Homo-oligomer: A and B are copies of this chain.
Amino acid sequence: MIAQLTDAMQQTQALIQRVRRINAHFQHVDLGIEEQLGDIKPGQSLLVRQTQDWQPYLREQWWPVRIAPNLVVVERPGHIKYEPGEFISVLGPVGSFFRFRRSLRHVLLIAYDTPPTPLLSMIPLLIANQTSLTLVLLGEAAAYQTDHLAGQVEVIHGGADLEWEHRIMTVGLADQVFAVARPDDEIRRFGDIWRMFAELRADIRKNYLFGVFQSIQPCGAGVCQACMIRLKQGTALTCVEGPTLDLSQVQL
C-alpha cells in the first residue's frame, strides 16, 4: 500500500471551552483549536498531553466526535477531570480521513468489545448526506449508552458472539462497514469480524469492510514505526495511512 500522505502534523495548543457529561461513562469536551491546526476531517485524531512533566510519557489519542470551524468536540472517559479554561498540548491532525464511496446509502458501524468513539465523527457528515446509519454494539460495547447520538442512528445491541438481530439484513444493506475492536488484541478481533462477514457474503470486495485501528502511537508521525501493521502486500503505519485500513488488505 502506498502511503496516502496527508499533510504533515502540527504541534499546537487547544483550549478546553466546555465539558459536558453525556452519560454515566463519558463526557464531551469542546476544544477550541488554533487556526494552524488546519482542517481536521472525520477519521483523524489528536495526540494530547496535559502534563508539563514526563508522567505519563506518551500522548493520549483523543477522538473527535464532532468537528466545526475552530472547534472539535472529543469524547473522553467520564472519570477524568477537565477544567474549562485549561490549555492542552496537541499534535495533529493524526492520520487519514475516512474515505466514503461516491453513492452511499447505508453505512454499518460495528464496535466490538470497545466503545464506538473513533467512529462517531462520521455521523454528522453522513446524516447531512442522507446516508442511513446503523451502529451495532457487540460484546463489552453493549455497555455503551447511546442516548446522545443523533436520532437518525439505528442502534442494535448484539451479543459477545458477533450475533445480532437481523444480522443478514443489516449486512446485506450496508454499502460500507467500519469497525473498531478492543485494542489489546485488535488484529485477532478484526479477524473474527472478517470471518463473520466472509460467512455471510460470498466475497468481500475492496473498499467495503474497514477497521479503525487504535494502536498506541508513540509519535503519530510515521517515524517510530511502532504502529506498523502487516498487510498482505507490505505494511501500513496506522498513524499515517490509518487509522482506517481496508481489512481486505490487512494480514489478519
- Please list the residues of chain A having a beta carbon within 8 angstroms of any beta carbon in chain B: 53-55
Contact = CB atoms under 8 A, between A and B. Distances in A.
Contacts of A53: 55
Work out how many copies of this chain go into the complex.
2
Contacts of A55: 53-55
A160 B177 CA distance: 74
A55 B51 CA distance: 11
3 contacts: A53-B55, A54-B55, A55-B55
A54 B53 CA distance: 12
A66 to B, nearest CB: 32
A67 B47 CA distance: 47
A55 B55 CA distance: 6
Nearest to A53: B55
Nearest to A54: B55
The 3 closest A-B pairs by CB, nearest first: A55-B55, A53-B55, A54-B55
A221 to B, nearest CB: 25
A53 B51 CA distance: 14
A60 to B, nearest CB: 15
A78 to B, nearest CB: 19
Nearest to A51: B55
A86 to B, nearest CB: 14
A53 B54 CA distance: 12
Nearest to A55: B55
A140 B195 CA distance: 72
Contacts of A54: 55
A147 B191 CA distance: 70
A42 to B, nearest CB: 34
